[in-house]
Structure formats: structure tokens, C-alpha cells
Amino acid sequence: MDVGQLQRQFTDYTASLFREGFLDDQFTQLQKLQDENNPDFVFEVVSLFFDDSEKLVNNMAKALEQQTVEFKQVDAHVHQFKGSSSSVGAHRVKNVCVTFRNFCEQQNIEGCKRCLQQLRHEYSLLKSKLETLFRLEQQIIAAGGSIPMVE
């Protein structure tokens, strides 16, 4: 596969991620921040996000399984998650977090659990998508091309 094709594929894929709402402007902002001094910035941040997220999701699940659910605790986790997801531009994850927080506020355990499910789902979806994206990126770099900017 030549570089041009890869680049086109990369652009299309990124565009689809934006279109389907997985990502938003913030992701573009991150990409803009990346320069020759920090070539792996986006990757670095996103992996940080992944680590953080897994920890947080596990914490949430644990907190929700408790006999008496500490909604404040859950809410704190969701808040964290929302913060980091909005930082990387994980749009859909962030939106689920917003809903999740509302349920926490209402102390609606059913809703919380449903949201956690949804969050897991969205998160794994995003993770696989981003992994694909990074793979494409690496392929382009390996092929000696540059990452095209998606405006």
C-alpha cells in the first residue's frame, strides 16, 4: 500500500470518527499541539487516558456493587472520567458521563448501572477505533509519509 493511499485511508477514517461523534474538536486541538518536538504527544495522552479510564471504570463498577452505593464516590469517578474524556475529545464517552452524572445526582442505581454498561461499551469501541487509527499512523510513518491534518 503506498503512502498516498494510506494517508487517504487515515483521513477518511479520522473523518468518520468525527462524523460518528467518537471524537470532537478537542482531539484536533491535541493533534495541533503535537509537533516535531513531541511527535508522540497524542499517543502519549491517549494511552494515559486509556490507563486512567480502565482504572476509573473498575472503580465505578466496584463502587456500584457495594451494598450501600456511595453515589458521591461514583460521581467523583465519573467526573474524573468526564474530565479526561473531554480533554482527549472522546465525545461520546463524555456525553455518557454527563448522563451518568445526572443519574448519580438522582441516586438512580439502575440508571447508573445502565450507564456504566454503556460507558464500557463506548469506551471499548473508542479504544479499538483509536488503536486502529494509531496503527494507521504508524504505518504511514513507517512508509515514510507524514500524518495529514484533518481540518
Partner 1 sequence: MVVSCKLSGSHVKLWRNRKQKLVEQQRQLRPKQQQLAQSSSKVAGKWRKKLLIIFVLLGVIISIWLFWHLNKDINLRRRETLTNMCDERARMLQDQFNVSMNHVHALAILVSTFHHGKHPSAIDQKTFGEYTERTAFERPLTSGVAYALKVLHSEREQFEKEHGWTIKKMETEDQTLVQDCILENLDPSPIQDEYAPVIFSQETVSHIVSIDMMSGKEDRENILRARASGKGVLTSPFKLLKSNHLGVVLTFAVYNADLPPDATPEQRIEATVGYLGASYDVPSLVKKLLHQLASKQTIVVNVYDTTNASAPINMYGTNVTDTGLLHISNLDFGDPARKHEMHCRFKQKPPPPWTAITASVGVLVITLLVGHIFHAAINRIAKVEGDYRQMMELKVRAEAADVAKSQFLATVSHEIRTPMNGVLGMLKMLMDSGLDANQQDYAETAHASGKDLISLINEVLDQAKIESGRLELEAVPFDLHAALDNVLSLFSGKSHEKGIELAVYISDRVPEFVIGDPGRFRQIITNLVGNSIKFTHDKGHIFVSVHLADEVVGPPDLRDEVLRQSLNIVRDSSNNSYNTLSGFPVVNRWKSWEKFKKLSCTDSMEETNIIKLLVTVEDTGVGIPSEAQSRIFMPFMQADSSTSRTYGGTGIGLSISKRLVDLMGGEIGFESEPGTGSTFSFTVAFTKGETSLLDTKQQPHDPAGSEFQGLRALVVDCRSIRAEVTRYHLQRLRISVDKTFSLISACSYLSNNYDPSASTSVAMVLVDKEVWDKEAGLVFHHMLKELRPNGTVEVQEKRPKIFLLDTSLSSAERNELKSAGFVDNVLMKPLRLSVLISCFQEVFGIGKRKQANRGKPLTLGNLLREKRILVVDDNAVNRRVAEFALKKYGAIVTCVDSGKAALLMLKPPHNFDACFMDLQMPEMDGFKATQEIRRMESKVNERIKSGEVSIEMFANVAYWHTPILAMTADVIQANNEECMKCGMDGYVAKPFEEDQLYSAVAHFFESG
Residues engaged in binding partner 1 (CB under 8 A): 20-21, 26, 29-30, 33, 35, 38, 41, 44-45, 48-49, 51-52, 76, 79-80, 82-84, 86-89, 91-92, 95-96, 98-99, 102
Residue 142 C-beta: closest distance to partner 1, Å? 25
- What are the counts of helices (DSSP H) followed by strands (DSSP E) for the chain? 6, 0
Question: Least Å distance between CB 13 and partner 1?
Answer: 17
Q: Cα–Cα distance between 5 and 98 in angstroms, integer?
A: 38
Taken as a whole, the chain contains a residue count of: 151
Q: Which is nearer to partner 1, 45 or 136 (CB)?
A: 45
Spatial contact of 20 and 133, defined as CB atoms under 8 Å apart? no
φ, ψ at 26 (rounded to 5°): -60, -35
Q: How far is the CB of 42 from partner 1 (least distance, A)?
A: 10
